[in-house]
Structure 1
Amino acid sequence: MLAEILHTLPQVLIDGLALGAIYAIVALGYTMVYGILELINFAHGEIFMTGAFIGTAILITLTGLGWIAVMPALLALLLVLVITSVLTGFIGMGIERIAYRPLRKAPKLITLITAIGVSFLLQDLVRFITEVKRGNYILTGPSMFTDRVEVKTSSVLSVFNDASFKESFIIVFVVAAIMMITLDFFINKTKWGTAMRAVAQDRDTSALMGVNVNKVIGLVFFLGSALGGATGVLFAIQYGTIDPYIGFILGLKAFTAAVLGGIGNIRGAMFGGILLGVLEMFASANLTLMTNGVFGAEYKDVFAFAILILVLLFKPEGIFGKVVMEKV
């Protein structure tokens, strides 16, 4: 059994890194909002989904106008990422202003229910618009970066099989890494990042010290939603087909990744996303083998949430999280 697992390991790592990078960036949106407001923004998965549809719609429009044939593919993707990020960033700010800010002093359960309601609203809105425009809510974007690259891992160690990946894997991983590194620098090295960390630590004291709390919270929603929307574009490029419900299960897994790394911890969310993606691909490739056919690859989602349960049982603060003593 070990030999068969090792055979698939290179391909598992490649696929897991691509999926894990997507989980990691979406998890950043959850962990940033929780760090500031102690709110689980369950609408964030639908922001990711909305970004996927906006980006795909722009790419289809550019293809219809013939621009994709003239414009370099990387430049077109960069343009789509920037436009989608800005649009989804403003959508996130609008959601915070309309749905969350009036409930800031309300019980957490009310805000949580509101977040779930916003997620359903975005799902149905995107489905309605897509069906009106395309006649079907399942959308397939133009083929970009689909050529496959072969990796001869068997020539390095004979226990490994050869692996392959689409060119889009490189795009997804490099862009995701740039976004994560830039966000980490912004949070830890800039004036606005310092303000965000101050508000996360003590909102009332920060306001007394001259920090505009509302602007900081709006910026957090803008950044988290912009990153989520851009990740939706990367998801569409990597996997090709999208629908209005991709944000639900992926959002839950990204939330799992945030909890796994330590909810409220930026680097923890990054690590948790990458780890969860690799573990999920490992389960997808080897679960049938490890359980003698009792469980198949379709149980990879169960595997992911079983990890969450184990983390909550033995280290509820997450891998990088810190135990916080409640003051009485």
Structure 2
Amino acid sequence: MTMEIFKSKPVEGGQQVVPSSLARIGEWIYRFIVFPIGQIIIFIAGAAILLTVLAYLLALLVPEPRPGINLSTQITQQLPGMIITGISIGFVYSMIALGYTLVYGVLKFINFAHSEIFMVGSVVGFEVMRRIYDGGIIDFFSPVILILITVVLAMLASGTLAVIIERIAYRPLRGAPRLVPLITAIGISYILIDSTRAIMTITRNDFNLTYPTNNISWLSTPIPLTFNGIVMGGTHFGGTAYEEITVDGQTVGEFTFDETVYERLTVGGITIGGTPIRNSRDLRLITVNGVTAESVQIGGQEITDIIQSGNTVAVRVTSIIVVISAVIMLLFLNYFVNGTKMGRGIRAVSQDQATAGLMGINVNRMISLTFFIGGAFGGAAGALFGLNATTVTPYVGFIPGVKAFTAAVLGGIGNVTGALLGGLTLGLIESFLNGVLVYFPALGQRYTDVFAFSVLILILIFRPSGILGERVDEKV
């Protein structure tokens, strides 16, 4: 986030008025807390309003994508959930995008291995949380400390890995053509993926990791919010984590409701679809292995009695943790870059390495520090992503990494504020698409990534400098 460093104000006669300690504190709070938070709120509000308008315009063009489904009504019901989910996803993208934009701002090349640094953070986060939880070092009364340790160690691991990669793979190629470090980054990416998979296969005989968040009672329980209606039991259907499901009098098993707000319920061959199950008034598409069911009961109650009409939102605790953690780290980065000596050194190197070196700045140290900060943010995003998604693999970094790169380009590559704006905007776009495309039989949520990456193509065609990026003309 670009802001001027605090300076005393000159007056006539060449004298300066030195602010009092209280004024300095107030100025510091405004520059590094109030103003950045205000920017975040404005970004979120602007993107949410724009996407809401576009969603309702789509509803005017296609009022009934399916027979009996009023798109405008469904958008109204899903709107709070789409915004909350989009903010949570958007902050994760923003944190990953910062790694791309910081490195590009200093070295003017894209570190495509950054998505795997994010992946390593998610894997390290899993190992830390599992070992601490399984070892009983921290009981269930201290999950905040558990999450803090998990995120910090993931940041240290990913940040250190990023510095090692810069020292071994990128520093010797600094004077090479731009295509050379780009190819090297892709090679490093594949090395990290396969190395992580090999280690996980050897040590665990499995490379699908599940965070133990469901074992922490308050962490796995959603916070229900009422929005113009009645809350329908939060994440766990019927308000209980495990319920018996019966179809036409036959028990088919137990289940937990899917973690995401918009997913249909599928268990034991049963699929309940049509409209998102949390807001369904009419469950016409209840099938068992392709056969329509007359009666579906959960915990002894008819499903139609459990589901209640109205707009409902269930916010997961992990989503709140993601948002709070991301805001704190972004505020810290803002202060570090704009309010510290090392931050000024990084900005000087990003503007002119040669001149910065002549002014006594250790260029190599500043570049390594930049890689560490970018890697640490990627690692934190990986650990927080793991908490929210619960399952990670060696391949988990590719899609979020490409989307975060899209966010960096959308906001303006090399611009820290642009990375924040791009991440939040892309997260909200993805959330709105998830909420709307589910009603279109020919599309569905599986096409969300197609639309998200289409944004990247459009930005590169019409405004390659991004929303906040500046067009720079090269001198010949």
TM-score range, shorter chain: over 0.9
2:318 is matched with 168
Shift of 1:15: 1.1
Residues 184, 267 of structure 1: 8 Å contact kept? no
Deviates more, 1:75-84 or 1:87-96: 75-84
Partner residue of 1:244 out of 390, 394, 400: 394
Q: Distance in 2 between matches of 1:293 and 1:83?
A: 44
1:154 is matched with 228
- 1:228-284 Cα distance to aligned partner (Å, 9 max, x none): 111111011111000001111110000000000000000110110011011011111
The letter for the 1-side match of 2:79 is L
1:203 is matched with 353
1:231 is matched with 381
The letter for the 1-side match of 2:121 is G
The letter for the 1-side match of 2:388 is Q
- 1:25-79 Cα distance to aligned partner (Å, 9 max, x none): 0000000000000110000010010011111101111122112326611011111
Unaligned runs of 5+ in 1: none
2:248 is matched with none
Partner residue of 1:139 out of 202, 205, 209: 209
1:8 and 2:78 matched: yes
The letter for the 2-side match of 1:308 is L
Structure with a larger share of its residues in strand: 2
The letter for the 1-side match of 2:469 is G
Partner residue of 2:142 out of 68, 72, 76: 72
Unaligned runs of 5+ in 2: 1-70, 231-308
1:327 and 2:475 matched: yes
Which is higher, the Rg of structure 1 or of structure 2?
2
Q: Distance in 1 between matches of 2:475 and 2:351?
A: 14
The RMSD of aligned alpha carbons is 1.5
Q: In structure 2, the residue corresponding to 1:151 is in which secondary structure? A: strand
Residues 288, 294 of structure 1: 8 Å contact kept? no
Residues 257, 272 of structure 1: 8 Å contact kept? yes
2:89 is matched with 19
1:48 and 2:196 matched: no
Partner residue of 1:294 out of 442, 446, 463: 442
2:341 is matched with 191
Q: In structure 1, the residue corresponding to 2:315 is in which secondary structure? A: strand
1:96 and 2:171 matched: no
Residues 10, 160 of structure 1: 8 Å contact kept? no
1:303 and 2:451 matched: yes
Partner residue of 1:218 out of 360, 368, 376: 368
Q: In structure 2, the residue corresponding to 1:152 is in which secondary structure? A: strand
2:465 is matched with 317
Residues 153, 163 of structure 1: 8 Å contact kept? yes
Partner residue of 2:102 out of 32, 53, 67: 32
Q: Distance in 2 between matches of 1:2 and 1:272?
A: 27
Residues 43, 115 of structure 1: 8 Å contact kept? yes
Residues 12, 281 of structure 1: 8 Å contact kept? yes
- 1:109-143 Cα distance to aligned partner (Å, 9 max, x none): 11000000001111011111111111110101112
Normalised TM-score (structure 2): 0.66
Q: Percent identity?
A: 45
Structure with a larger share of its residues in helix: 1
Shift of 1:293: 2.4
Q: In structure 1, the residue corresponding to 2:228 is in which secondary structure? A: helix
Q: In structure 2, the residue corresponding to 1:154 is in which secondary structure? A: strand
Structure 1's 70 and 9: CA in aligned 2 closer, same or farther, altered over 3 A? closer
The letter for the 2-side match of 1:154 is N
Normalised TM-score (structure 1): 0.96
